[in-house]
């Protein structure tokens, strides 16, 4: 019969009331009252009403930062995949709580916006990490970093939402597969040519000697300004 700590009681009361009356119809006073504490105590444990639902986004942000930091240049892309898996596992660990939160964010616009803002912070971390990793200050590289980061979080969110909706039995395998697909979109820097899509095989026969052809081939492959 011993009471759980106030922080837990507040969260329980909040979710229960949100389910009963809806988010906007529930005041902080209501939550505090049902939890059996004062209004002040609520704001001591949670910075805002929304914070009851998103308690540890800061911690998750740190988690991502730390995981990305512990990676060498060679293992950068692996680190990205690992980090995404880590974030997904974090949500899965929350289990039913994550699903109740999803039900709320699906209905209340203010909460959806808040969720999106948090995700944007993750994306920013990935973007900065990838940009650092590429080390290339050109505008083209900057765009690529932006795109890669957008893909990474989009893939994660896609799988996460599938799991939240109960559409995925093995989300970890799915996210790994999705990340492979994402990273395949971006050919490694050493690749021969522009990402033109697909594989082109040219077979031809000529009487010319191979050495005579090489200069033309080289020009084609290296794609200089001359046509």
Partner DNA sequence: CTTTGGAACGGTACTCAGTACCAAGGATAG
Partner DNA sequence: CTATCCTTGGTACTGAGTACCGTTCCAAAG
Residues at the contact surface with DNA, assessed by CB under 7 A: 5-6, 26-29, 36-41, 43-45, 47-50
Task: By CB under 8 A, tell whether 61 contacts a copy of itself.
Answer: no
Q: For a copy of itself, which residue of 1, 202, 224, 227 counts as binding (CB under 8 A)?
A: 202
Q: Among a copy of itself, DNA, none, what binds residue 196 when CB lies within 5 to 8 Å by partner kind?
A: a copy of itself
Q: For a copy of itself, which residue of 8, 78, 89, 185 counts as binding (CB under 8 A)?
A: 185
Q: What is d(CA 130, CA 221) in angstroms, rounded to the nearest whole number?
A: 27
Task: By CB under 8 A, tell whether 78 contacts a copy of itself.
Answer: no
Q: For a copy of itself, which residue of 8, 56, 195, 219 counts as binding (CB under 8 A)?
A: 195
Q: What is d(CA 128, CA 145) in angstroms, rounded to the nearest whole number?
A: 8
CB atoms within 10 A of CB 121: 13
- 214: tokens are 């090489």
Q: What is d(CA 83, CA 90) in angstroms, rounded to the nearest whole number?
A: 10
Q: What is d(CA 161, CA 139) in angstroms, rounded to the nearest whole number?
A: 33
207-226 residues near a copy of itself, rule: CB under 8 A: 210, 213, 217, 220-221
- 199: tokens are 């594989």
DSSP string, 123-172: HHHHHHHHHHHH---SHHHHHHHHHHHHHHHHHHHHHHHHHHTT--S-HH
Q: Among DNA, a copy of itself, none, what binds residue 60 when CB lies within 5 to 8 Å by partner kind?
A: none
105-144 residues near a copy of itself, rule: CB under 8 A: 112-114, 116-117, 120, 139, 142-143
Q: Among DNA, a copy of itself, none, what binds residue 120 when CB lies within 5 to 8 Å by partner kind?
A: a copy of itself
CB atoms within 10 A of CB 78: 13
Residue of 95, 66, 93 whose CA lies nearest to 82 = 66
Which positions touch a copy of itself (CB under 8 A)?
112-114, 116-117, 120, 139, 142-143, 146-147, 149-151, 153-155, 157-158, 162, 178, 181-182, 184-188, 191-206, 210, 213, 217, 220-221
């Amino acid at each position: 019969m011993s009471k759980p700590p106030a922080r837990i009681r507040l969260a329980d009361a909040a979710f229960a009331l949100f389910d009963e009356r809806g988010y906007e119809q529930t005041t902080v006073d209501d939550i505090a009252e049902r939890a059996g504490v004062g209004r002040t105590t609520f704001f001591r444990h949670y910075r805002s009403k929304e914070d009851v639902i998103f308690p540890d986004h800061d911690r998750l942000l740190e988690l991502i930062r730390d995981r990305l930091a512990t990676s060498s240049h060679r293992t950068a892309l692996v680190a990205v995949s690992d980090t995404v898996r880590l974030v997904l596992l974090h949500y899965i660990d929350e289990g039913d709580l994550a699903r109740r939160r999803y039900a709320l964010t699906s209905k209340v616009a203010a909460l959806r916006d808040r969720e999106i803002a948090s995700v944007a912070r993750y994306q920013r971390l990935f973007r900065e990490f990838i940009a650092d990793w590429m080390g290339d200050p050109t505008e083209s590289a900057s765009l690529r970093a932006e795109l890669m980061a957008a893909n990474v979080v989009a893939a994660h969110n896609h799988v996460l939402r599938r799991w939240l909706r109960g559409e995925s039995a093995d989300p970890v395998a799915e996210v790994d597969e999705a990340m492979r697909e994402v990273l395949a979109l971006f050919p490694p820097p050493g690749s021969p040519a522009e990402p033109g899509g697909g594989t082109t095989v040219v077979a031809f026969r000529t009487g010319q000697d191979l050495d005579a052809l090489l200069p033309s081939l080289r020009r084609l492959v290296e794609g200089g300004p001359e046509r």
